[in-house]
Chain A
Amino acid sequence: MAVVDISWFSLGIAFMLLIIPVVLSRIYKLKLLRPLFYSVSRMCVQLVLVGFFLKFLFSANNLFLNLLWLGAMILVAVWSAVRSFSLKMSKVLVPVFLSFSLSTFGIVLFINIWVVRLDFVFDARYLIILGGMLLGNSLRGNIIGIASFYNSIKKDDKRFKYVLALGASLNEAALPYLQESMVLALKPTLAAMATMGIVALPGMMTGVILGGASPLVAIKYQIMIMLAIVVSTMLSVFLTIIITRKICFSGLGILRQDVFVGR
C-alpha cells in the first residue's frame, strides 16, 4: 500500500478546522487569533519551501549538495543553541559547531552504514532526515544542559571557588555541575522513551505507518532513531561542555566574564 496523496484542494479543506479556534477566540476574546495566524502562516511558508527544496535535493541526491545542506542545518542549530547560552557567538561558534557535527554526522553515518546498510551512505533521504531529527534533539538537550552548567556555576560562585581553594582541579570542581547538567539535558528524551507507544505514538512512527509500511517496520525505525537520538544528544551536550569549558574558564579556574553576553 502506497501513501494516499492529498490534493492541494483537499489540504485546503483541512484549513476549515481553523473555524473552531476562530469562533472560540471571537466569543471569549482569547487573544489567540494573531499568534495563531502568524504561526500557521509561518509554518505553511516554511514547509512549502522545505518541501520543494527537499524534492529537489532528493532527486539530485548529490554527495556534495547533501553534505552542504546538512552542514547548513548544523550551523543553524548551533547558531540558535549558542544564542540561548548567553555566550558570545564569536568565541564559541566554531567549537560548538565541531561538537554538533561530530555527534550528528558520526551517529548518522553509523546508522546508514551498519544499521540501514545503504549502498550510498550519504543518501539525502537518510542523511538529511535522520540528521535533522538528531539535530533537533541535540539542540534541545544543549539549550537545557549548557545553560544549566554555566548558570549553576555562576550561581554557586562561592562554593565553586571554595572547592578550587581546597585544591580541586578545574575538572574536579566542575564535575558535579557536569553530572547535573547531563541529567537535566537527557531527562526529556529518557522520559519520552520510557512512555513511548503507551502515551503517544511517536511522530516518526506515525509517518512511516501513514507512508504505507507495516507497523513492525515502523517500530524498528522508531527504536533505531530513539537510540540514535539519546546517544547523539548525550554526546553533543558532553562535547559542548568539554569544549566550551576550555574557552570559558581562565587559567586560574574562574569563569571569564568576557565570554558571556551582556556583562
Chain B
Amino acid sequence: MGGIYMLKLKEVSLIYGRKEVFSGISLEIKKGDKIVISGSSGCGKTSLFGLILGFVFPAEGRILFENEVVNPQNIWALRRKIAYVDQDASLGAGRVEDWFGFIFSLQANRKLGIKQEDLIPLFDYFELDKEILEERIENLSGGQRQRLALITAAILKREFFLLDEPTSFLDNRLKKKTAEFFMKLPQTLIVASHDSTWQNYLEKVFSMEKRKWL
C-alpha cells in the first residue's frame, strides 16, 4: 500500500535566480514521525519548508505529500493539513485578539469552532498573560510573538507541524517546555533548527549539509 508516508522528497534541488540553494535532497517522513532538520543558517532550511508549503517549485526532483505530487491544484488543500510556524513569527500588525480572530475566521478553520477561551490553557502553558490579547503585536517582544505563533499552530489541530526555528527567541527553559509540548502530541513534526535542545528531544536528525540522516 505504501500509504504510510506523509511526505517524500526525491532528489530535490532548488534554484533561486541562478544560485543553487541545495540539491539532491531525499527525505521520507512517515505519519507520526518527529524529526529535526539541522544545518547552519543559510543552508536552505527555510527554503525547504517553502518547497513543502508550495511557495516555490523544485528545479529538479519531486515532492509527494501523502503520495500526491504537490501542484497548484492540490496545494491549497495540503496547506490546510499543515500547522506552520515561520522563522520570524510574522504576525503582522494589529491587536493580538484580531490576529486570532482572523486565523479562526479562515474557511479552513471555521469548522473547528475555536473560541477565545480555548486559548487560555495554551497561554498558561507558554507563560503568556491573557491580557496580551488586548495588546498590539508591534509592541510585543520576539519571544512573545514566537509563543503566539506556536499557540496558533497548536490550536489549529492540523495533522502536520512544520516549525521553522520556532524557539530562537526563547530562553532555555521555555525551549525545553516547547519541545516537550510538541513531543507529547501524536501529530507528525518537522522542526528546522540548529538548536541542540530539539536534537536532544527528537530521535531523528536530518542534516541539510550532509544531505542525510545523522
Interface residues of A, Cβ cutoff 8 Å to B: 156, 158-159, 161-169, 172, 176, 250-254
**A162 contact set on B, CB distance < 8 A:** 84, 86, 90-91
Q: Mark B101-138, 1 if CB is under 8 A from A, else 0.
A: 01100111100000000000000000000000000000
Point out the residue from A158, A168, A253 that lies within 8 Å of B90, measured CB to CB: A158
**B156 contact set on A, CB distance < 8 A:** 166-167
Residue B54 CB within 8 A of the other chain: yes
Can you name 5 A-B residue pairings with CB atoms under 8 Å?
A165-B55, A166-B152, A166-B156, A169-B76, A251-B75
Give, as a whole number of angstroms, the nearest-CB distance from A21 to chain B. 45
Interface residues of B, Cβ cutoff 8 Å to A: 50, 53-55, 57, 72-73, 75-76, 79-80, 82-84, 86, 88, 90-92, 102-103, 106-109, 152, 156, 162
**A164 contact set on B, CB distance < 8 A:** 53, 55, 79
**B162 contact set on A, CB distance < 8 A:** 165
A167 in contact with B109 (CB, 8 Å): yes
Which B residue's beta carbon lies closest to that of A254?
A: B55
A165 in contact with B84 (CB, 8 Å): yes
**B50 contact set on A, CB distance < 8 A:** 161
Point out the residue from B73, B86, B91, B107 that lies within 8 Å of A165, measured CB to CB: B86
A166 in contact with B103 (CB, 8 Å): yes
A166 in contact with B75 (CB, 8 Å): no
B90 in contact with A165 (CB, 8 Å): no
**B91 contact set on A, CB distance < 8 A:** 159, 162
**B152 contact set on A, CB distance < 8 A:** 166
**A165 contact set on B, CB distance < 8 A:** 53, 55, 79, 82, 84, 86, 162
Which A residue's beta carbon lies closest to that of B70?
A: A252
Tell me the complex Cα distance, A161–B92, Å. Answer: 11
Instruction: Give the one of A158, A161, A168, A169 with max B CB within 10 A.
Output: A168
Tell me the complex Cα distance, A251–B54, Å. Answer: 10
Tell me the complex Cα distance, A1–B100, Å. Answer: 64
Tell me the complex Cα distance, A254–B55, Å. Answer: 7
Tell me the complex Cα distance, A172–B101, Å. Answer: 13
Tell me the complex Cα distance, A33–B73, Å. Answer: 60
B72 in contact with A251 (CB, 8 Å): yes
Which 10 pairs between the two chains have the least Cβ-Cβ distance?
A251-B72, A167-B108, A167-B80, A165-B84, A158-B90, A159-B90, A159-B92, A162-B86, A165-B53, A162-B90
Query: Besides A166-B79, A169-B108, 9 other CB < 8 A contacts?
Result: A156-B90, A159-B90, A164-B79, A165-B84, A167-B79, A167-B109, A169-B106, A169-B107, A254-B55
